[in-house]
Amino acid sequence: MSYSLRSSLRRSVLPAAAVMTSLVLVTSCSSSENTDQQAEASAPQTSTSQIAQVSKAESTPREANGNLSEHGGARRTEGDQSQALQEAISQTGAKNVILLIGDGMGDSEITAARDYAEGAGGSFKGLDALPVTGQYTHYSLYKDGKPNYVTDSAASGSAWATGTKTYNGAISVDIEGKDQESLLERAKKAGLATGNVSTAELQDATPAVQAAHVTHRKCYSPDSTSEKCPDNALENGGRGSISEQILDTRADVTLGGGSESFEEKAKAGEYKDKTLLEQARERGYQLPTNAEELSKITEANQDKPVLGLFSEGNMPVRWEGPKAAKGGYKEEAATCTDNPERTAEVPLLADMTQKAIDLLKDKEEGFFLQVEGASIDKQDHKANPCGQIGETVDLDEAVQKALEFAKQDGETLVVVTADHAHTSQIVPTIVDEEDDVEGLYPGLTRKLITREGSELTMSYATNEDAEESQEHTGTQLRIAAYGPNSANVAGLTDQTDLFFTINDALGL
């Protein structure tokens, strides 16, 4: 269905409200390395009358107005906000949607990254510029249908991708194991261009929920599928592993890690005994493996889809630093440093996001793109504050790219939120030895020096064993919006509501 037809159908059932036609939903943070150029990209665009209408509804990133110690110096707002909020609400629908996910990015992770990278009174050029915010619930289900109050990434991703709650570990199937159609599949069926970008292995839960249907999230490859979910295995009449289904779903652009699983051979079907990479080549995929090769790609479509595989597993993170440890709060405060493993050959999340947009944006019917900053969660599991903060900064830079396009394009819905909350907490920094009583912080802790020169103490206490993984938490999550249908994220919603917000905005 063409965009013009989808748009006319929406107008037949929605009241006329042509205030703005681009939406962004976000849960993320931005970089301490933002340049003037990035700031300009986040500023209102007024090149056409339509974009001028959009700009009126924007709010700029809200930062403290002055000296934090002065009366009113910590204020982030000035004047009444009613008009700006009113102008931010539109029901016109969208031609395109960009959904950005910060895996494991709860309010604590956002705040810690902001404090470290931008300062207590600072703000992020992506997330903090969005005018409409809300909270959503993200519980999963047990197989008997009762609520499981702490979700994993598979069940949560399945919820927004399909609109159906399911059990932890399920990839876009319901609690009975029945396939549930994803937003990406629905968008492709409607004739839209599609993309799927992640810093994780592409077989990981968040990217997988848009492209695959398996009963166990670890069914990455033909071998693991035969072992963990044999009913899904190709040789048993199933759809195959997540990797095989990624090839079958055939998004126009798919970028991330996970090349190792594509080295395995198919066990059945037309490409039996050939590796999945060999299969991809025979099926017309373009296969860039580094940033330079990706930069040379000039088109992506169903004849020449792009499958970029930039690492064997998860892509390397931005920053490194000491992990939290027992009594870590007593040690000298640390500063995060660049990860030497992330070389110039590794494309940044912002670069992959921009490239995907560039390759998809000319489709007359519009596009749907999902982008994930995956290792906020993975570094949180490791109790590594520098790791998780750097990945949050990375995601915000990707959000800025999405916002820049949305403001210039005038017909784009960009969505960013998290899949679940996580373990890290900001706790008081001990400045007086008399306050340091035995057992004060029973978990793992680490102090960091922020850009303001203050000490930020992070605590991880869902597992006291430094060698074991920290856990997800069940706290509701922030969601923010910019553009058409943005009012649908205000107040308290559920993770499944996001499916319907995007589905309805695109008129699928």
Instruction: Just list the catalytic residues.
Output: 153
CA atoms of 209 and 447, how far apart (whole Å): 36
* Residue 455 annotated as lining a ligand binding site: no
Residue whose entry in the numeric block shows the structure tokens 């929406």? 10
For residue 323, is it left (φ>0), alpha (ψ between -120 and 50) or beta?
beta
* Residue 223 annotated as lining a ligand binding site: no
Bridge partner residues of 426 (DSSP) = 458
Which residue type, as a one-letter code, is found at position 45?
A: Q
* Residue 204 annotated as lining a ligand binding site: yes
CA atoms of 375 and 348, how far apart (whole Å): 13
Phi and psi, residue 334, nearest 5°: -105, 160
Q: Write the burial class of residue 153 (CB in 10 Å: 0-12 exposed, 13-18 middle, 19+ buried).
A: buried
CA atoms of 280 and 479, how far apart (whole Å): 36
DSSP state at residue 419 = S
* Residue 206 annotated as lining a ligand binding site: yes
Enter the tokens of residue 56.
């009126």
Bridge partner residues of 133 (DSSP) = 480
* Residue 152 annotated as lining a ligand binding site: no
Enter the tokens of residue 401.
């790219």
Bridge partner residues of 169 (DSSP) = none
Judge whether 308 and 254 are in contact, CB under 8 Å: yes
Judge whether 380 and 423 are in contact, CB under 8 Å: yes
Bridge partner residues of 308 (DSSP) = 255
Which secondary structure element, helix H or strand E, spans residue 89, and what is its range?
strand 89-90
Which of 231, 203, 455, 228 shows the shortest CA–CA distance to 312? 203
* Residue 419 annotated as lining a ligand binding site: yes
* Rg, Å, the chain Cα set: 22
Query: Rounded to the nearest 5 degrees, what angle is found at the Cα of 226, between the Cα atoms of 221 and 229?
Result: 95
E-strand ranges in 128-190 read 132-137, 140-141, 147-148
Alpha helix ranges (H) inside 14-106: 36-42, 49-56, 82-87
Judge whether 286 and 297 are in contact, CB under 8 Å: yes
Helix 385-409 / helix 349-360 crossing angle, nearest 10 deg: 20
Which of 284, 211, 278 shows the shortest CA–CA distance to 241? 211
Judge whether 387 and 342 are in contact, CB under 8 Å: no
Which residue type, as a one-letter code, is found at position 264?
A: E
Q: CB within 8 A of 439, min separation 6: which ones? A: none
Which of 368, 372, 376, 373 shows the shortest CA–CA distance to 414? 368
Residue ranges for the binding site for Zn(2+)?
103, 377, 381, 419-420, 472
Annotated binding site: 103, 204, 206, 372, 377, 381, 419-420, 472
* Residues of the binding site for Mg(2+): 103, 204, 206, 372
